[in-house]
Chain A
Amino acid sequence: MKISMRLAVAATLLAFGSARAADAIKIGLMAPLTGSWASEGQEMKRNVELLAAEQNARGGLLGKRVEIVVEDDGGDPRTASLAAQRLTTRGVVAVVGTYGSAVTEATQAILDEAGIVQVANGSTAVRLTEKRLKYFFRTCPRDDEQGRVGAAVLEKGGAKRIALLHDSSAYAKGLADEIAATLRAHRANVVFFDALTPKEQDYSAILTRLKAAKPDVVFFTGYYPEAGLLLKQKRQMGWKVPFIGGDAVNNPDLVKIAGKDAAAGFRFLSPPVPKDLDTAEARAYVASYRKRYGEAPSSIYGVLAADGFRVIAKAIETSRSTDPDKLRQVLVGGLKDFPGFTGKIAFNGKGDRVGELYRVYEVSPSGSFVLQK
């Protein structure tokens, strides 16, 4: 009884929503609102809804209201394919999202076949754009981009003997492979390439083996719990060679595990955290986000979703149309240095973002992460 009443209420709300939406431009948001990535999904929703409200306050797009159609992908490919099918039946002109690579992949073909522009925000797997889908774009970098940047940072540091350590996970091993390939192509000397076993408590054996290889620098591509322990035990051994990490170590718990003394001076690559976004627009945006929600955005992927919404809005305004081919034309050719919150945005023909997003961070003696200019 209660349930049927609720259903009726929900149905009425939906009906009203669609009646009102006759003169609106609908943009879909596909996000993991439930499941293990729910916090990312909720943040994506907050970002995009805030931007849509601001856009409407400025008079909308092409004189029409912007309406955000949110669908939950559950962080699971099956649910995501349903969410994408549902978006295709609700008259959206473009879709922002989503987070996980496999999840995005399940939706790509559906949206592409329906002629809907999709701008993913957290799916970094290389293969997504290698399929050359016409209407697929992403605001996040690809996995191989970090490898390239990592190799460049190592070479710039002037290290002669380089050690690479990963943890056999698909992500960490892929990144280590990528760095090693770039370094070897440049004839740099990789003296160590091996994996540790995640979730152990004692890494002194692998550290001893590393030390025996006499590297000038060690790049660890795994996650923060292991990185923290490595730093702590490295200090206990009295070994002073610098360590560098990939973006999976970007978590405050790193310092808690390692201790401030051991973590100080540790550097890692990461997209900028929201508080370090440096353009005037980004600072204004973070301020208005704080005003609306009482806190600053915590995840870069939420801000990348915001950038996804903004490039779509820009493309609609520039082309004065919602035709997917015209939108693509603007996104690929006409976005010279669009000032995104996360830096300048332009897309290449594959739909990948052009330009560097990764920055170098260093742990300060007080344990905070400081952006290196």
Chain B
Amino acid sequence: MPNRTMTRGLGIAYAIAAAAVAAAPLALNAYWIDVLNSVGLYVLLALSLNLILGDAGLFNMGHAAFYAVGAYTSAILNTRLEIPILWTLPASALVAALFAALVARPVVHLRGDYLLVVTIGLGEIVRIALVNDVFGLTGGANGLFGISRPTIFGHRLTSRKPQEFLYLIWAFVAVTVFLFHRLEQSRFGRALNYLREDPIAAEGSGVNTARYRLLAFALGAAWAGMTGTLYAAKMTIISPESFGSWESVVIFLMVILGGAGSIPGVMLGAALVVILPELFRGFASARLLVFGLVMMVMMVFRPQGLLPYRLLRFKESDLRRAEDAP
């Protein structure tokens, strides 16, 4: 059993955050609601990368590629076959996962910076393929447009009411956070952590390294793909510039800044990376400069991340209980 007091504290924090998001439309204008929507999308992306980068310790800086695959899958299914956009969620998860498994298979044995370089290349290949209108499906540099708005129980969501997207996106975030916490405490999650800390020892204890790494990639990609669906549904247009290498860097940054491996930390990281540049809009064209400075200061003073991952701690009582268990 993990340290229970921390879990309770975290539960309260989540409850407060959920209540704050649910009540946000009462207090905030459309612009800040839309900023919260952006935060939600990036929380999902950062959590999906956290599986790969934080839990399994695989340096993936091409995560936007999986995001793009999901978004384009949904957009193509929706605009060509007129499948309602939210029904394409499983399809984009599946396609993104298969794509990730396919491209990661030959490279998962690479470590650290070598994998990083390969995944940067992967991200660029996907972006350039999209620009070059691969298979005549992606619309080239202009992207795809005319994606229909999502409909929930016969109710159509529009950009006039960003609060409706707020609930859609953050409901998805809530489900994700719950599932990822369960995953973290499962055999699978712990196997990934072994792999990150010491791959050789993990292999010695019977963890199939290649298989777990591939699974981490596939699962992370599936989640990024579904986030792509939500993004396509919200924007109704997608174009290659939304999935460039900068996007991958930003998602990577969120995970590292918040604390790799820590779900609340990664969420905080995503929120800061999205909200800070908006707060600095007053600096006009210098806003990204100020943003960069803040990032540097944070990394210098808290290199382990804002809410770092904590190793599981066991009390003596836990040990006794485990021994007593039949």
**Contact between chains at B142 and A101 (CB < 8 Å):** yes
**Contact between chains at A109 and B236 (CB < 8 Å):** yes
**A348 contacts chain B at the CB level, 8 A cutoff:** no
The 8 A CB mask of B95-135 against A (1 = contact, 0 = none) is 00000000000000000000000000000000000011100
**A248 contacts chain B at the CB level, 8 A cutoff:** no
**Contact between chains at B159 and A110 (CB < 8 Å):** yes
Q: Nearest chain A CB to B71's CB is how many angstroms away? A: 11
| Chain B, 215-241, CB within 8 A of any chain A CB | 231, 235-239, 241
The 8 A CB mask of B26-44 against A (1 = contact, 0 = none) is 0001110011001000000
**Contact of A109 with B287 at beta-carbon distance under 8 Å, contacts A168-B132, A170-B140, A170-B142 already known:** no
Residues from chain B with a CB closer than 8 A to the CB of A7 are 279
**A72 contacts chain B at the CB level, 8 A cutoff:** yes
CA distance A101 to B281 in the complex (A): 23
Tally A residues with Cβ within 8 Å of B: 42
Which B residue sits closest to A86, measured CB to CB? B31
Q: How large is the interface on B (under 10, 10 to 19, 20 to 34, 35 or more residues)?
A: 35 or more
**B160 contacts chain A at the CB level, 8 A cutoff:** yes
Residues from chain A with a CB closer than 8 A to the CB of B145 are 102, 105, 127
| Chain A, 326-372, CB within 8 A of any chain B CB | none
CA distance A13 to B162 in the complex (A): 28
| Chain B, 266-290, CB within 8 A of any chain A CB | 278-285, 287-288, 290
The 8 A CB mask of A167-178 against B (1 = contact, 0 = none) is 011110000000
CA distance A68 to B216 in the complex (A): 49
Which residue of B34, B162, B237, B287 is within 8 Å of A105 (Cβ)?
Answer: B237
Residues from chain A with a CB closer than 8 A to the CB of B140 are 169-170
Which residue of B162, B235, B236, B283 is within 8 Å of A10 (Cβ)?
Answer: B283
Chief secondary structure at chain A's binding surface: helix
Q: Nearest chain A CB to B126's CB is how many angstroms away? A: 17
**Contact between chains at A169 and B29 (CB < 8 Å):** no
Which residue of B160, B278, B290 is within 8 Å of A6 (Cβ)?
Answer: B290
Most buried by B among A78, A101, A125: A78
**B143 contacts chain A at the CB level, 8 A cutoff:** yes
**Contact between chains at A125 and B285 (CB < 8 Å):** no
Which B residue sits closest to A168, measured CB to CB? B132
**Contact between chains at A82 and B31 (CB < 8 Å):** yes
Residues from chain A with a CB closer than 8 A to the CB of B185 are none
The 8 A CB mask of A71-94 against B (1 = contact, 0 = none) is 110011110011001101100000
Q: Nearest chain A CB to B26's CB is how many angstroms away? A: 16
Residues from chain A with a CB closer than 8 A to the CB of B142 are 101-102, 125, 170
Q: Nearest chain B CB to A190's CB is how many angstroms away? A: 22
**B3 contacts chain A at the CB level, 8 A cutoff:** no
Q: Nearest chain A CB to B16's CB is how many angstroms away? A: 23
Which residue of A81, A102, A113 is within 8 Å of B239 (Cβ)?
Answer: A102
**B208 contacts chain A at the CB level, 8 A cutoff:** no
**Contact between chains at A88 and B282 (CB < 8 Å):** no
CA distance A71 to B133 in the complex (A): 31
**A42 contacts chain B at the CB level, 8 A cutoff:** yes
**Contact of A89 with B31 at beta-carbon distance under 8 Å, contacts A75-B241, A102-B239 already known:** yes
Residues from chain A with a CB closer than 8 A to the CB of B151 are none
| Chain B, 244-294, CB within 8 A of any chain A CB | 278-285, 287-288, 290, 294
CB within 8 Å: A-B pair count: 91
**A22 contacts chain B at the CB level, 8 A cutoff:** no
Which B residue sits closest to A9, measured CB to CB? B282
**Contact between chains at A109 and B30 (CB < 8 Å):** no
CA distance A42 to B294 in the complex (A): 24
**A162 contacts chain B at the CB level, 8 A cutoff:** no
CA distance A371 to B35 in the complex (A): 47
| Chain B, 139-171, CB within 8 A of any chain A CB | 139-143, 145, 158-160, 162
**Contact between chains at A89 and B30 (CB < 8 Å):** yes
Residues from chain B with a CB closer than 8 A to the CB of A10 are 279-280, 282-283
Residues from chain A with a CB closer than 8 A to the CB of B238 are 77
CA distance A127 to B131 in the complex (A): 18
Residues from chain A with a CB closer than 8 A to the CB of B143 are 102
| Chain B, 84-104, CB within 8 A of any chain A CB | none
CA distance A44 to B238 in the complex (A): 25
Which residue of A70, A89, A102 is within 8 Å of B29 (Cβ)?
Answer: A89
Residues from chain A with a CB closer than 8 A to the CB of B139 are 170
**Contact between chains at A169 and B141 (CB < 8 Å):** yes
Q: Nearest chain B CB to A114's CB is how many angstroms away? A: 8
CA distance A101 to B284 in the complex (A): 22
Q: Nearest chain A CB to B140's CB is how many angstroms away? A: 3
| Chain A, 17-54, CB within 8 A of any chain B CB | 33-34, 36, 38, 41-42, 45
| Chain A, 180-228, CB within 8 A of any chain B CB | none
Query: Known contacts A72-B284, A170-B142; can you find 10 more A-B pairs with CB under 8 A?
Result: A3-B297, A33-B284, A72-B281, A75-B241, A82-B278, A85-B31, A85-B34, A105-B145, A109-B159, A113-B158
Q: What are 27 of the A-B contact pairs (CB < 8 Å)?
A: A3-B294, A10-B282, A10-B283, A11-B282, A14-B282, A33-B285, A36-B241, A41-B285, A70-B284, A72-B285, A72-B287, A77-B238, A78-B38, A78-B231, A78-B242, A81-B34, A82-B35, A85-B30, A88-B31, A89-B29, A102-B237, A106-B235, A110-B159, A113-B158, A113-B159, A170-B142, A171-B141
